[in-house]
Amino acid sequence: MTQKVSRSHVFFSFHPDLEPVLRIQQGEEVVMETHDCFEGQIRNSNDLIDVLDWEHVNPATGPVYIEGAKPGDVLRVDLLKMEIGDQSIMVTVPGEGALGDLIVNMETVLLKLEGNEVVFKDKIRVPKKPMIGVIGVAPATGSVPNGTPGAHGGNMDCTLVTEGASLYFTVGVDGALFGAGDFHAAMGDGEIVICGAETPGEFRFRAQVVESLKGLPTPFLRNEDVVAVIVSATTIDEATSGATHAMARFLTEFVGLSVNDAGMLMSLVGELKFCQVVDPEKTVRFEFPNYVLDQYGYKMN
Ligand code: CA
Ligand code: ZN
């Protein structure tokens, strides 16, 4: 029977001393349930953001200890199946986010899920695109609040973190201490008012150390179409430079391209995108298409 991690096991920062709630074998499939980013504190449109107990924002479920994962290993996490709740929440927070200077009123909006669409204010239909905002492993040292992204993962709010994607993290501590939360029924790149369609959810995953990828720039992601490096830094400029250099390093060290070929192909078919521009650290990703890697005969494990 598949083991399930209940959403009652939450933590609020990634750090090396987290107590594992479950130990799993590599390759074992596990289901993890998550709260929404408000831990369910906002229930209807009358609950404005000022009701929030901020100590209970951005819960992640876990952590899960993966047997045999050692510091320095690259851990691949396959997101096999994702399900989300039938209702999600958006809020505005005056003074916060990329439009904080314009937004003066708090507002809470409930969005219903109808089939493959998310319905905004009973009228506007947008495609459902479930993704996970907070996902990562414990860093080797220090403590990173779940609202902050970093080299360990965390609040990356990357719209590529969907069903079918594989994420790669560098393990910081024995067992990796993997956790996730903050599902979105849909979210745009940038996360302009600091939220997507915030929803509880659950996902099925398996995790595996990949020896041949030791040294990979992480967090790294692969889906059917692209590979991507995800980099967070204090400024967009730093994150952009970090993501661009990390992709060049992947293409030269792992795929075997020359620096000039890597640069020209990144310039030709690469895509530099924002994940989020509103958190304490900003997150940028550099995407590179798999069809080019295929032509180099590169197959990623
Ligand atoms: Ca988030
Ligand atoms: Zn969120």
* DSSP-derived secondary structure for 10-32: EESEE-TTPPPSEEE-TT--EEE
Residue-by-residue DSSP string for 222-246 = E-SSEEEEEEEESSHHHHHHHHHHH
Q: How far is the CA of 51 from the centre of ligand 1 (A)?
A: 19
Q: How far is the CA of 182 from the centre of ligand 2 (A)?
A: 5
Phi/psi at 110 (5° precision): -95, 130
Nearest to 74 by CA among 219, 279, 289: 219
Q: How far is the CA of 214 from the centre of ligand 2 (A)?
A: 30
Instruction: Indicate which ligand has the atom closest to the C-alpha of 184.
Output: 2
Q: How far is the CA of 196 from the centre of ligand 1 (A)?
A: 8
Instruction: Indicate which ligand has the atom closest to the C-alpha of 281.
Output: 1
State the pLDDT at residue 251: 98
- Surface-to-core class of residue 274, CB atoms within 10 Å of its CB (0-12 exposed, 13-18 middle, 19+ buried): buried
CA distance 148 to 27: 28
Encode the chain (301 residues) as per-residue pLDDT tens digits.
899 999 999 999 999 999 999 999 999 999 999 999 999 999 999 999 988 998 899 999 999 999 999 999 999 999 999 999 999 999 999 999 999 999 999 999 999 999 999 999 999 999 999 999 999 999 999 999 999 999 999 999 999 999 999 999 999 999 999 999 999 999 999 999 999 999 999 999 999 999 999 999 999 999 999 999 999 999 999 999 999 999 999 999 999 999 999 999 999 999 999 999 999 999 999 999 999 999 999 999 9
CA distance 43 to 71: 40
State the pLDDT at residue 214: 98
In the CATH hierarchy, which top-level class contains the domain 3-69+80-139+180-206?
mainly beta
CA distance 239 to 19: 31
Total residue count of the chain as it appears in this document: 301
The residues whose Cβ lies within 5 A of ligand 1, an ion, are: 133, 155, 157, 182
For the packed helices 236-249 and 259-269, what is the interaxial angle rounded to 10 degrees? 120
Helices (H), ranges, 112-271: 236-249, 259-269
CA distance 212 to 209: 9
Q: How far is the CA of 35 from the centre of ligand 2 (A)?
A: 10
State the pLDDT at residue 54: 87
State the pLDDT at residue 255: 98
Q: How far is the CA of 158 from the centre of ligand 1 (A)?
A: 9
Contact 74, 171 (CB under 8 A): yes
State the pLDDT at residue 1: 82
Model's pTM, two decimal places? Answer: 0.97
For the chain, the structural domain boundaries read 3-69+80-139+180-206
Residue 199: other Cβ atoms inside 10 A = 26
Q: How far is the CA of 194 from the centre of ligand 1 (A)?
A: 7
Instruction: Indicate which ligand has the atom closest to the C-alpha of 278.
Output: 1
Q: How far is the CA of 259 from the centre of ligand 2 (A)?
A: 37
